[in-house]
Structure 1
Amino acid sequence: MTKEAFFQLTDKVKEGTANDAELELYNQYFNYFQVLEAWDEETMGVEDVRGQLLYESIDRAIGAPVPVRKLNTGWKKFVTVAAAVLLLAGSAVFFVYQQGQPAEQILSSINVASASTNDLIQLPDGSTVILSAGSQLKYASSFEGKAVREVFLTGKAFFDVKHRSNQPFIVRTGKVNTQVLGTAFDVDSRNERITVTVIRGKVVVNKGGQTLGTLTPNKQVVYNIAADQATLHDTDAEKTVAWREQDLVFKDITFDNAAVLLQERFDVKVIIGDKRLGQQHFTTTLFENQSLEDFLTLICDFNNAVYQYDEITKHVTIKPKN
């Protein structure tokens, strides 16, 4: 998107004249950053002055200079979105350079989990990822027409991958790649080592042309980056991924994908009684100690739905309100 087109988009959103497609595009950019709720003048400067300086800096980085415009009290939202575009492009180019990937593989989606909560993310193919607090995941906005589905992880994440026999799924963590067709596994690339743990299915972990391990459930490979050495272990995979039980932010997730996570977390069977409701998206937070009933009430009220819970069969049925 050019600078001029970006300015036009933000102006339309501000004026309330943006159509659905433009609003979706705006929201995609805006989701890359968390907007500051309060402005600290002591550490960040006078709001209007700092806003103008940020605007000019972003303007120079995006393209050729344009006439300086005075920013009103809504400048923070504009600068945040503009910065998202700028930093998104910068991060993608830097990452491509580091990985030695061709320019056409520049990534268009970045998710960064907050420092205190995990994020539940839905990928373009319907696969889901629980991104650990403080971690980052980069991927293309669509996997269609690509030989592989690839994502780039910094930090820690749990992946539940949709099966596609003709399109492998690859998690890239530095020089180590984890490849699957459809499975559930955990990848931790923190602390100068890369650990891959399999919950179900089969995973192949490699570095360059060398296979570090072919893993099945309750198997784990640990690669020490400094020593350039990998070791294989038996492990209790469920204990390894227990961190998923912490506070979890659902980011633009469908009911169908949320149902899978709720089934695992609360040991119930979730039935979505309407196809359209199953594809409906929502964003909210499931807290570590929150009960199933409280969470169901929250998401159903927000999405004009109702639920029934059978304590004997442990079946939850969710359907639209009549």
Structure 2
Amino acid sequence: MQTDNKIQLLQNFLNGSITDQELKNLFVWLNSEKGNMEFEKLLNEKWLTNKFQTTENIDSTILFSRIKTKIEDKQLSSRKQLLIRFRKVAAIFILGLLIPTIYFTVLNPQKDNKKVVYLKESLSNEKIRKMTLPDGTAVWLMSGSTITYPSNFSENKTRNVEITGEAFLNVAKDSLHPFILNLGEVGLKVVGTSFNVMNYGDEDRVNVVLKTGKVDLFKGKYNPDNDFVHLAPGQLMTYKKGEPEFLISYVDVDKYISWINGTLLFHNDRFEEVLKKLGKWYNISIEVNDREISNFLFTATIKNENLDQIVDLLKYSTPFKYSIYKADGVTKLVVEKMK
């Protein structure tokens, strides 16, 4: 889309004259990595502030939330019209709106014929995104992570959520509706607590670090009769996928949750784990050409540094060679031993 077309879409949305197709186009544009960068560029170059009188209307977080709400409202209205038009038909099939990073999955109808809509929030071009779930639970999502949750928790006995990647959650207290976090082979139940979780699909383990409250861990799918393992504040649970047991130890919680404030803390960490974290934090691919590099112990505090500054820091603090390559929009950092 040309710049004028993009601004026109924003104007149409804000003044309420946007069509369904234009709304889809606007959502897809703003939700893409390229579109997000273009939006910020327009904002920085005063294109948007010259067109609109207030900056509140063009705040990216508020704008994106309003667009999603508009789409959901249109979908709900469309469903109501279909139900009225075909109420005498025995079977009704409703096609949901398919858009990247937001999808709608209709579960099996309950006895009251209510359906649960699931939303999927994914983060790829930001380091951190803070969001609030429908029950009031606050979530900090790290780059490269995904969270799936119902649009309405009140229709179920439990608040079911799924996370891949890394996130910190401050769960809203509700003793009548336990909060269930599904992590593949394992899961956890809480009522109201705060904790950090790491659950990457390409890694062989799941980590949960508890800051406050209590966590009940279980294997498989949640059932009130499950055998639970309890986690106390200050403890780390490590589950190696495919293994029978949870490994629990005491740790420095701040080291695991400092990232929500934009800081990465490393203290005698294996360089392999450090590079994995940096790769996700800066959204880059990292290649290690010598496995001995992985066992090097690394200590540092990283805050607000850009990628070039990080590479300079690594050069001065480790005995390795670093090279950066960029191709097809992908940045790769190659690490190898000095010759």
| TM-score, length basis structure 2 | 0.47
Higher relative contact order (CA 8 A, sep 6+): 1
Q: Which has the larger radius of gyration?
A: 2
| TM-score, length basis structure 1 | 0.49
